[in-house]
Structure 1
Amino acid sequence: MEFKGGELIFLVSTLIIGLITIALVALFGVFQKKKKALLIDRDETKKRFEREIAETQIEIREETLRNISWELHDNIGQLLTLAKIQLQNATPENISEVSETITKGLTEVRALSKLINPEAIKNIKLGDAVQLEIDRFNRLNFINSTLIISGDEQIINKKSSIIIFRILQEFFSNTIKHSKASNLRVQLKFTDTELEVVAADDGVGFSSLENEKKGIGLENIKNRAKLIGASAVFTSEVNKGTSLKIVYKL
């Protein structure tokens, strides 16, 4: 069959339009599938983040309860025992010692109440929360601790603040339990664009081989940091201490 010029052009045009239409439909289908996959992934990421926040809050609560238990037993309990002994042997000359011991006990109870009050902890700034930990370490003579805050302290997203605080809690716990360190130094450095957190001890440190054994714990900390778009980097050498650096974009 022989086509005239106009018919041939019409057929070719129709064929091209048909192919373009099919291609567009196929591309639209691919786009819709990718969009659906992205939405599902976003929802899963959000759910995973919320689960992590919930787990982190539980861990902070558990750590706080452990701290309260230690402080009641090792500090306030001893002060009350001392006050009891002093009262049993009280004389007009040493009654001031009893008063001093009781006053110190009351001060410790007030400090402890800040940890017990969930509303106070929930609404506290990151710097204040870390300062409470530092004060406790010094009060119980766990380790000589200092906190330095530089720059203009900014309001941090509450969920991000929870994650950062829990990461620091884990570092503090490892330092006190395993590092044999004498000093702990924490710095919160605020700039216009980021918060840099550095925690460092002067303990025994650990080698690359030991680092592999600790890998799961360190990886968990790094993964938690990633959840809030932050980075967490450990540095350690045998007999030269360990440091943790967190960088969080404001």
Structure 2
Amino acid sequence: MLEEEHQVIAIVLSGIFFAGLMSVFVVAMVFFHRQRQDLARQKLNQVQAEHEKILLDIENEIQQETLAQVGRELHDNIGQLLSLAKLNLNSSKIEKHAEGRNMVNEVIKEVRALSKSLNLDWVESISIDEFIGQQLGKIQATGYCQTELHCDYSLPELQKDKKIVLIRVIQECLNNAIKHASPDHIVIRITSASPGRAQLMIEDDGLGFDPSLPSQGSGMTNLTNRMNTIGGSFALSSNPGQGTKITLDFPA
């Protein structure tokens, strides 16, 4: 009888021990899971903060370029129009007054256009292919080189923040081609890489370079990081004397 009581006590104690052990295990697992949740939340907050910083940097860059353009327009275009309008309006010839009024109306139109360019809401009113067409048209109008745009895929409307990133990356790629490549032709092609994704290829027949050589700048890294923020990728291939090809892959 005494032996049976000892066995019962041993079983109860064993049960209590294992129950305690399981409780400790469950508490440890809950604690570990919460730690992982906290780390994941911190990482997500960090990624969001980096994304917002990149967007802010890009918006600031676009606004700075816009302000520089506004300054040039005010000095070279609007200032000249106002001077001519003043001369015509002060003329003793009646017909010159009409010319002066027409110039004042032209100044008003130019000022409105400049005011619109200062507001980044223009990003929402233009599609990516329209923007590219405008940029290539400006380059060709200068006589610098020939340009082509081939749209094999109709891009759906992108969210404003993604469109701002893409616009800035395209601008930077075109600026690099103009500043460093001295090309005769720049070609941009928009295609569908796979369902739900698009590819934008920027090619020039300029000087080219060896991408494996160390670079003094951080341009390629910045472009890669910016494409990463919109779930995209940046790839570059080039050889000396054989031009450069850039491929932007992104969700669409």
TM-score, structure 1 as length reference: 0.77
The one-letter amino acid of 2:34's match is Q
User: 1:185-217 deviations in whole A, cap 9, x for unaligned?
Assistant: 1112246411101001111011245x4215621
1:114 is displaced (CA, Å) by 9.7
State the alpha-carbon separation in 2 of the partners of residues 195 and 23 from structure 1. 49
The one-letter amino acid of 1:247's match is D
Partner in structure 1 of residue 117 of structure 2 = 116
1:233 match: secondary structure = strand
Partner in structure 1 of residue 201 of structure 2 = 198
The one-letter amino acid of 1:59's match is E
1:213 match: secondary structure = coil
Q: Is the 8 A contact 1:231 1:247 kept in 2?
A: yes
State the alpha-carbon separation in 2 of the partners of residues 73 and 185 from structure 1. 33
Question: Which of 39, 43, 46 is the equivalent residue of 1:44?
Answer: 46
1:203 match: secondary structure = coil
Partner in structure 2 of residue 154 of structure 1 = 156
Q: Structure 1 66/178 Cα, relative in aligned 2: closer, same or farther at 3 Å? A: farther
Q: Structure 1 32/160 Cα, relative in aligned 2: closer, same or farther at 3 Å? A: same
Q: Is the 8 A contact 1:115 1:121 kept in 2?
A: no
State the alpha-carbon separation in 1 of the partners of residues 205 and 154 from structure 2. 28
Q: Is the 8 A contact 2:186 2:205 kept in 1?
A: yes
Identity %: 20
Q: Structure 1 122/68 Cα, relative in aligned 2: closer, same or farther at 3 Å? A: farther
Question: Which of 166, 169, 172 is the equivalent residue of 2:171?
Answer: 169
User: 1:138-185 deviations in whole A, cap 9, x for unaligned?
Assistant: 122232111121223211222111111111111111111111111111
Partner in structure 1 of residue 140 of structure 2 = 138
State the alpha-carbon separation in 2 of the partners of residues 177 and 114 from structure 1. 28
Q: Is the 8 A contact 2:208 2:244 kept in 1?
A: yes
Q: Is the 8 A contact 2:210 2:239 kept in 1?
A: yes
1:6 is displaced (CA, Å) by 1.6
Partner in structure 2 of residue 97 of structure 1 = none
State the alpha-carbon separation in 1 of the partners of residues 200 and 9 from structure 2. 75
State the alpha-carbon separation in 1 of the partners of residues 73 and 51 from structure 2. 32
2:237 match: secondary structure = strand
Partner in structure 2 of residue 63 of structure 1 = 65
Partner in structure 2 of residue 220 of structure 1 = 222
Partner in structure 2 of residue 15 of structure 1 = 17
State the alpha-carbon separation in 1 of the partners of residues 188 and 75 from structure 2. 27
1:181 match: secondary structure = coil
Partner in structure 2 of residue 180 of structure 1 = 182
Q: Is the 8 A contact 2:190 2:199 kept in 1?
A: yes
Structure 1 vs Structure 2 CA RMSD: 3.2
Q: Is the 8 A contact 2:70 2:114 kept in 1?
A: no
Q: Tell me which moved more, 119-128 or 180-189.
A: 119-128
Corresponding residue pairs, total: 225
TM-score, structure 2 as length reference: 0.77
State the alpha-carbon separation in 2 of the partners of residues 208 and 199 from structure 1. 16
1:247 is displaced (CA, Å) by 0.7
Partner in structure 1 of residue 94 of structure 2 = none
